[in-house]
Amino acid sequence: MDIEKQKFLSEFARDYGYPNAPKNIDQIRASEFKRLDGLVYLDHAGATLYSEQQMEAIFKDLSTNVYGNPHSQSDSSVATSETMKKARQLVLDYCNASPQTYKCIFTSGATAALKLVGETFPWTQESCFMYTRENHNSVLGMREYALSQGAVAFAVDIEEVECGSGLLGDDCSSVWMSPHAAQRRSTARDFDEAPKADSIGHVYNLFAFPSECNFSGVKYSPDLANIVKQDHHNALEGSPYCRGSWMVLIDAAKGSATEPPDLTSFPADFVVISFYKALLFSLLLGHIGYRSAYAAKILRKTYFGGALLGTVAASIADIDYVMRREGIEEWFEDGTQSFLSVASIQYGFKIINTLTTSAIARHTSSLATFTRRALFELRHENGSSVCVLYGTSTKKLSCHGLGPIIAFNLKRPDNSWFGYREVEKLASLSRIQLRTGCFCNPGACSKYLRLSHLELLTNIEAGHVCWDDHDILNGKPTGVVRISFGYMSTFEDAMKFITFIEKSFVSRTREIGSGFGLDAHPIDFSHKEPHPSVTEVLDPPVPTLLHPKATTYQGACLKSITIYPIKSCRGFSVDSWPLCSSGLQHDREWILKSPSGEVLTQKKVPEMCLVSTFIDLEHGILFVESPRCDVRVQIDLLKAVSQCGAREEIMSQFHRYEVQCYDSEVNLWFTNAIGRPCTLLRCVSSQPRRRMNECSNMTRCRDMESKLSFVNEAQILLISEESVSDLNSKLSSKHSDLLLWYDKWIWPFCATGLIDLVAFGDFENDNNKGLPIHVHPMRFRPNLVISGAGPYTEDLWRVLTIGKEHFVSIGGCNRCEMINVDPQTGQRPKSKEPLATLASFRRVKGKILFGILLSYDGAAEVGDSEEKVKPQLTVGQEVYPCSVNSKDIDAEGTSVCI
């Protein structure tokens, strides 16, 4: 780290770390961002962070002053009005805007500010709404107002102009705008028909562009405002969309964080700023700057609200009479503003003005440039590139025309893609916070990923929507990984991220036990040599888990059986249990559903692990207990459905379920037990939903043909004690290595006060004062635990017999952060264990596999008739598995049943 930092400082010492400020970056982090110890936060484009000093100043202000509703003449109201006036001036000063020319309007956020322009702009059938393709959805939403009024709308691409200061730099004298197809909903008149001469002056057009693209980080010169307003005929080459007057909107929600627009040099008509991205803390406050001379003249405000300082001076309730205020602020700010949020703005500006925006821009740019170069230079062992960067090229890696955003995707040695969700999941396990997807910028996403309209529509029809897990469709990524730096980001943040990418995604052979953190060790089934477990090797072929010639194994037995009647609640162990067509009888037959329809699990409601269950089969009763409730619930399993409650249908995991509801008394008990409103539902019947697209490779329940209860992927989950033991050995070894590393390298420096304990501090705190984590098999919520089969031998079983019953393996179980929840307390450790360790050696194409999923193969013979004796599983029964050859396993590590 020291050598790398010295190299970094040799180039960026003048720009990095605020050398001329009262505090340098290391002092700022140590004194004002203690909560970031061990955490790398790289999503400042989404929301930047507030400092402890800032919060202390805000608290002191609000706790010592009295701020009242400004719609009054009391002393507290006057104090609020003065604070708001001061805040408006701070905003105008930030953008170098004169109060005689611009007015500052506070809104609930940047989106509300853009909506306000869209709904009040004087659209006509002769109007145009032109916007750059790389615009946020909040800008695209303005298009609805234009199109609904018969105006034409179209996107433009701004051609790159090579200048000394980067893309569209200050010394560019002209740009080229390439328009896309025009969009129009009304055909009341032919647009090519020239309007009457006296109406041209009343035609207003609007051009919107971002000061910085929130997807790629590309900066657009604010001089576009002058070009469009003064030279739009040349920029659009005599297009028919050049008639009338052009007004310009700059979306500076992202760009203002490091480089606010200079409105004296580039007089845009509307400028939108998001304070939670730029000013560190503001409770979702937004701002829009209006050029007052234009806004008062043309904008059409309909709604009015408030009084005194509201939008109305006087109104009469029972007749159509209203007198509006003439001031721009009063006219557009409906009702009472969030005046306490406005009061907090000054403390954000105080920090920024102390550091200066130019120093913040240089600091963040140095980190982004260093990281871009490092990512670009990463190579797999075969020489292929690891990272594809968007919004830049090799010639522009040192270009200052890019903001502190880096958008990229990662490739494997065979040139296939790592899914961005895989990157996000592993980053979270390494305590690195970043963002993935398209960031509400569909134009930039399709542009840089080269997705055609047909591909976009095909993905949507296949079920892909924002924020889902479908990161690769038809061999192409549907989004990207984005990191972004803020004023408090450090070189150490950048270096930890680069190291994470290198260890987790770069293919090169490593020695067993070398290094720390997450290494990508995909399970490969193509090798012919026997080996007890997956070896510590990156992408080259890995020894198989079992010898492919072996077909059966002896000595394995069923060690335990666990039933989980209510999904995500605590289960109970039995010595013997009946099987049915849906697997283990009554297993995950009930769910808890939120009022919004969401199926509740421990991922979001860890308190569910405290709810205990037990079923008395002889008397047909489900007993449920909770430490939060004085009495336990008894649910009669044999009671007629008509006596229990209504029925309804729900969809979950691509299955349609008919469910039984319960009365309010039962639902109230569960609401108290987990601390949030919920209802209990019981599965009465289920059937798989027809697959939408067989070729879409969408994530769905793998066992689509069996009768299922409320399971995620299959009827039964099996793990082996030997696999758990091997995992515990790795956890213990990792802990020992960290202790040795700590004693040798970290503690000597911590003792002298030269450095702070960062990552290891959380490790100690999370693990009972340094004790290694030891996981119990029940941490993985298995139905069946077997013993005597050897670590991970279950991975290659295709079919198995337990006692006299037959089961089919449908592949490994993909693990998530739910296994990090302590099943006894519901707590999650900061160390992200044991999932972090599993990710280091059990990754297969983005999945972290542990245990196997089984489908019961005897349901057709057994049936569900009450006269027949149901087959049973009993603890102690022998397990007879059959292995599978490597050719019978697909690329996802899933067994192919033949």
Name which residue leads in pLDDT, 664 or 236: 664
What confidence score (pLDDT) does residue 239 get?
A: 67
Across the range 357-384, mean pLDDT stands at 94
Q: pLDDT grade, residue 553 (50/70/90)?
A: low
Which one, of 700, 719, 208, lies nearest residue 469 by Cα?
Answer: 700
Which of the residue ranges 23-37, 258-272, 545-559, 831-845 has the most confident prediction, judged by mean pLDDT?
Answer: 23-37
Q: Are strands 557-563 and 572-574 parallel, antiparallel or unpaired?
A: antiparallel
Q: pLDDT grade, residue 877 (50/70/90)?
A: very high
Torsion (CA) 660, 665, 671, 673 in degrees, nearest 10: -110
Distance in angstroms (rounded) separating the CA atoms of residues 681 and 660: 6
**Model confidence at 117: pLDDT above 60:** yes
Across the range 14-26, mean pLDDT stands at 94
If you count them, how many residues does the chain have?
Answer: 898
What one-character DSSP code corresponds to residue 366?
A: H
Distance in angstroms (rounded) separating the CA atoms of residues 75 and 747: 56
**Model confidence at 697: pLDDT above 50:** no
Which residues on neighbouring strands pair with residue 154, listed in sequence order?
130
Across the range 61-84, mean pLDDT stands at 83
What confidence score (pLDDT) does residue 158 get?
A: 83
The amino acid that residue 482 corresponds to is: R
**Model confidence at 690: pLDDT above 60:** no
Q: Alpha helices, DSSP H only, in 587-659?
A: 641-644
- Residue 249 backbone phi and psi in degrees, to 5: -115, 130
**Model confidence at 366: pLDDT above 70:** yes
**Model confidence at 2: pLDDT above 90:** no
**Model confidence at 532: pLDDT above 90:** no
What one-character DSSP code corresponds to residue 518?
A: -
**Which two tokens mark 521?**
């060790």
Across the range 318-323, mean pLDDT stands at 80
Distance in angstroms (rounded) separating the CA atoms of residues 572 and 780: 14
Q: List for the chain the helix, strand, coil content (%; round to 5).
A: 30, 20, 45
**Model confidence at 148: pLDDT above 70:** yes
Give catalytic residue positions. 440
Cα dihedral across residues 787, 790, 795, 798: positive or negative: negative
What is the pLDDT of the chain when averaged over all its residues? Answer: 78
What confidence score (pLDDT) does residue 723 get?
A: 95
Residues 6+ apart with CB under 8 A from 822: 609, 828, 829
Q: How far is CA 810 from CA 554, 589, 796, 839, in A?
A: 22, 21, 10, 21
The amino acid that residue 894 corresponds to is: T
Q: pLDDT grade, residue 222 (50/70/90)?
A: confident
**Model confidence at 320: pLDDT above 60:** yes
- Judge residue 71's burial from the number of C-beta atoms within 10 Å of its C-beta, 0-12 exposed, 13-18 middle, 19 or more buried: middle
**Model confidence at 742: pLDDT above 80:** no
Name which residue leads in pLDDT, 376 or 76: 376
What confidence score (pLDDT) does residue 432 get?
A: 95
What confidence score (pLDDT) does residue 782 get?
A: 95
Confirm if 535 and 513 have CB atoms less than 8 A apart.
Answer: no
**Model confidence at 746: pLDDT above 50:** no
What confidence score (pLDDT) does residue 287 get?
A: 52
What confidence score (pLDDT) does residue 488 get?
A: 94
Q: Give the DSSP per-residue string, 267-332.
A: --SEEEEEHHHHSS--SS-EEEEEEHHHHHHH--------SSSSSEEEEETTTTEEEE--SHHHHH
Please report where in the chains the tokens 């693209």 appear, as a residue: 213
**Which two tokens mark 164?**
């000394």
What confidence score (pLDDT) does residue 290 get?
A: 61
What confidence score (pLDDT) does residue 415 get?
A: 92
What confidence score (pLDDT) does residue 507 get?
A: 86
Distance in angstroms (rounded) separating the CA atoms of residues 558 and 718: 10
Distance in angstroms (rounded) separating the CA atoms of residues 31 and 53: 8
What one-character DSSP code corresponds to residue 256?
A: G
Q: pLDDT grade, residue 377 (50/70/90)?
A: very high
What confidence score (pLDDT) does residue 210 get?
A: 93
**Which two tokens mark 898?**
């033949």
**Model confidence at 527: pLDDT above 70:** no
What confidence score (pLDDT) does residue 498 get?
A: 96
